[in-house]
Amino acid sequence: MLTLHQAGLTTTPAIAPLDGTIRPGELLAIVGPNGAGKSTLLSMLSGFRPAEQGELHLDGKPLREWPIAELANRRALVAQQELPGFDWQTDELLSLGSNPAKSLVAALLDDLDLTHLAKRSVLSLSGGERQRVMIARGACQLLSRGSPTAKDGGILLLDEPTSALDIGQQQRLMRQLRGWAAQHRMAIVCVLHDLNLASTYADRVWLLHQGQRIDHGLPSQVLNPATIARIYAAELQHIEGGPHGKPLLALAP
């Protein structure tokens, strides 16, 4: 579990102090317009950019006190664009640094519809294929190296994981992320631009604007047309009857 205690960043790009908890087994969506601070916040949550005020606690211990090797067992970050530097095979890339069981690699490849690419060079893959490979690698890092005393599957932080995917792959990925959260009690945090994906698949939403979290809660509470239209400077219409009764948003004609 990751807990924020008035954690924030004071140097540009800044993040206003935040309180909150990211829980095992949930999918949290971070949304907001361009420049809102979503990727910056994700970097702070990961520890790559340490909080400059307040503090973050992972499993009850200050994030800054975690040794790097131990932290890698408990959290993984997949950035927007991660380009492999060498000509690895797909299954080899998943295994880097964690020595996972072959069965785990095979399962993750299957989860993200990558089995047929297992022996392909990652440099030969399309942008969407490579994006799914990097997400699978992040999950492999957590599931193969998890602390023996941990009671959950760690925290997977994903920056725009659907940006290079077609609509079908977006759906399959988001369903799989929910599956990992439930099966492994993994906390999954996704920066998303597609508000309907956030509404459909997220358990909770944090809405950012100009470095501040201006709302948080259930998707039905946070993603209301009036707030979204104001923050995004967009004209929207509200569509009822989405999956499981969740609201959807559409651009007004």
Length of the chain: 253
**R_g of the chain computed on alpha carbons:** 18
Query: In 10 A of CB 146, how many CB atoms?
Result: 17
| Contact call for residues 135 and 117 (beta carbons, < 8 A) | no
Cα–Cα distance between 5 and 187 in angstroms, integer? Answer: 18
* Three-class DSSP labels, 24-61: CCCEEEEECCCCCCHHHHHHHHHCCCCCCEEEEEECCE
Q: What are the phi and psi torsion angles at 44 (to 5°)?
A: -70, -40
* Residues 6+ away with beta carbon under 8 Å from 150: 59, 73, 74
Query: In 10 A of CB 97, how many CB atoms?
Result: 12
| pLDDT by residue, tens only, the chain of 253 residues | 999 999 999 999 999 999 999 999 999 999 999 999 999 999 999 999 999 999 999 999 999 999 998 999 999 999 987 666 678 899 999 988 777 889 999 999 999 999 999 999 999 999 999 999 999 999 999 998 655 556 788 999 999 999 999 999 999 999 999 999 999 999 999 999 999 999 999 999 999 999 999 999 999 899 888 888 899 988 777 666 555 556 677 766 6
Q: What domains does the chain contain, in order, with CATH numbers?
A: 2-74+146-251 (3.40.50.300)
pLDDT reported for residue 18: 96
What the block records as the tokens of 67 is 């040794």
pLDDT reported for residue 147: 52
pLDDT reported for residue 208: 97
Cα–Cα distance between 42 and 182 in angstroms, integer? Answer: 22
